[in-house]
Chain A
Amino acid sequence: MAKPRIQPLGDAALLVQLGSRIDTALNSRAHAVAAALRKRSGIRDAAAGYASVTVYYDPERTSYRSLAAAIPKLVAHPGRVGPSGRLHRIPVTYDGPDLAEAADQLDLTPEQVIRLHGQPIYRVFMVGFVPGFAYLGPLPPALHLPRRRVPRTLVPAGSVAIAGAQTGIYPLPSPGGWHLLGRTPMRMFLPDSDPPSLLRPGDRVRFFPA
């Protein structure tokens, strides 16, 4: 394990980067580090990214310097993450506004895009952006597209979308820069539950045409 890169994010948060790849082992490590950090005094919250952990701390109770000194040891020996890994099967109506354009850019037919999108069992690498938005991957390389140049100001809830090596489902109407392939009626955001998200880090997801 390479030494993590630690950088400030303002005066009460810091970013720990463990790597720059979408990788299950790196991601599991990030979640384990976040879970361990959440138990430390002076830590308000910790959220894992694909290959990173953002740590929100109270500078009156701990310091950037002491955290930066302690974190590499935690990254080397993070302990275990809790049990997880439920499999969710999610129906999709593939009629998204970007399906034809995405297929065109990928040099595929829309049917090929739909078939490729439904093939893998995806891993939930992280939940973020808005409540209940799960970042799923890895997406088959034939479907990789950069994000849209100008994000949409409003994407409807239930939109199933792709960007880079990722796919995901917008749980709420929100701004978004991903390519919209279709929509699902399944609810991703569960406001009356804690945690308020159907999908949790480590879960697995498979899409099928509705």
Chain B
Amino acid sequence: MEPVLRVDKPGLQTTIQDLGRGGHRAYGVPPGGAMDRFALAAANRLVGNPDGAACLECAVSGPSLVALQSCLIAVTGADFGATVNGEEMPLWTGVFLPAGERLAFAGRRAGARCYIAVAGGFGGDRWLGSLSTYQLVGRGGLGGRPLKAGDLLQPAAAPPHPQVAGRHLAEPLRPAYASAPRLAAVRGPHFDRLSRPARTALWKTEFEVGKDSDRMGYRLEGQTLEAGGRDILSIGLAMGAVQLPPGGNPILLMADHQSAGGYPVILGLGRADIVLAAQLLPGEHVSFTETSVLRAQDAWRGLRAGLETL
């Protein structure tokens, strides 16, 4: 198939991502995929794709892309000031990009990661069932690496018919992104190991997202927590789990997290709140509030229901 977009500037870190690869955790392969799975699914719906089609995930700054053929696109997630030929482009909206026109970004206003969908989805290298870029091993997406200038982006499939521009996800139906969100978390399997003062601190502290935070996870700083008990045996981990290494600074595991580990797991975020965490940058803040499995599942269902309006 003919390439649909040309990369003139790649942005800080733009990668091809879908909903990740399940089924290989027993060999140490993390789920990977979009950090903000809601924004990815929404971008796909807005251009008529299935929820799990591959999009571009753009961290911190956006790319500059030129349409090589007319295409339907949508930009969701973080607000990096998207423009088409210099004119502001509406977010969370299907927009027709005529051949020769340029999608670019004026600069970050809020959030950490935006998603660009194209009708038909982006193509790339499939690894273990997913197009998601997994940089640690250099597999998936575009050669397992972020985009660079001069790359030509191929569509995965012909655009779905009919192509409808103007689909829009209304603001109240989008996640409540914030630079200091209060994230709802379920007690983890080793919560009981926290000392009494550590439990109080866990629910009261506003943690800072550490500077070496990335797609693997966020180191949470500003307050160390104390846990007792013997070393635990390594267990399979999950995106959104909060681990507590012996230094006492919690680590929030994100999409490319280590698949197993032996530190106490004190919290597990629900999927709706992982989405909020995905939009945080180093230096921003986060705190936790307790929820239950059922309430967390309801929160995700509530968010997903918005997509059914599209």
Name A's B-contacting residues (CB within 8 A).
7-13, 15, 17, 20-22, 34, 38, 44-54, 56, 59, 64, 126-133, 135, 146-147, 149-151, 153, 163-164, 166, 171-172, 174, 177, 189, 191, 194-197, 200-201
Contact = CB atoms under 8 A, between A and B. Distances in A.
A131 B28 CA distance: 4
B204 interface: no
Nearest to A52: B235
A172 B95 CA distance: 41
B166 interface: no
Contacts of B246: 146-147, 149-150
A127 B238 contact: no
B26 to A, nearest CB: 5
Interface in B142-190: 185-189
Contact of B24 (A126, A172, A195): A195
29 contacts: A9-B188, A9-B238, A10-B185, A11-B270, A12-B271, A13-B268, A15-B236, A20-B232, A21-B233, A45-B25, A47-B26, A49-B233, A49-B234, A52-B236, A54-B238, A56-B25, A126-B234, A128-B260, A129-B258, A129-B260, A131-B27, A131-B28, A131-B137, A133-B28, A150-B246, A164-B231, A172-B136, A174-B136, A177-B245
The bracket for how many chain B residues form the interface is 35 or more
Interface stretch (B101-109, B115-123, B292-300): B292-300
B302 to A, nearest CB: 12
A51 B233 contact: yes
B229 to A, nearest CB: 10
B24 A153 contact: no
Interface of B: 22-29, 127-128, 136-139, 185-189, 212, 231-241, 245-247, 258-262, 265, 268-271, 274, 293-294, 296-297, 299-300
Given A8-B187, A11-B299, A130-B259, 15 more contacts: A9-B268, A10-B269, A11-B268, A11-B270, A45-B23, A46-B26, A48-B26, A51-B233, A54-B25, A54-B235, A129-B261, A147-B231, A150-B247, A174-B258, A191-B137
A134 B40 CA distance: 33
Given A51-B233, A172-B137, A153 B270 contact: no
Decide if the interface of chain A is mainly helix, strand, loop or mixed: loop
B258 A128 contact: yes
A21 B172 CA distance: 49
Contacts, number: 169
Contacts of B233: 20-22, 49-52
B41 to A, nearest CB: 14
A191 B127 contact: yes
A95 to B, nearest CB: 25
Contacts of B259: 47, 128-131
A71 to B, nearest CB: 14
B262 A38 contact: no
Contacts of B268: 8-11, 13
B271 A128 contact: no
A147 B245 CA distance: 10
Contacts of B258: 128-130, 174
Most buried by B among A50, A129, A146: A129
Contacts of B138: 191
Contacts of B28: 127-133, 171, 197
A150 B138 CA distance: 27
B249 to A, nearest CB: 10
A52 B238 CA distance: 14
A147 B128 contact: no
Contacts of A171: 28
B139 A191 contact: yes
A105 to B, nearest CB: 15
Contact of B234 (A11, A38, A50, A200): A50
Contacts of B136: 130-131, 172, 174
Contacts of B187: 8
B256 to A, nearest CB: 10
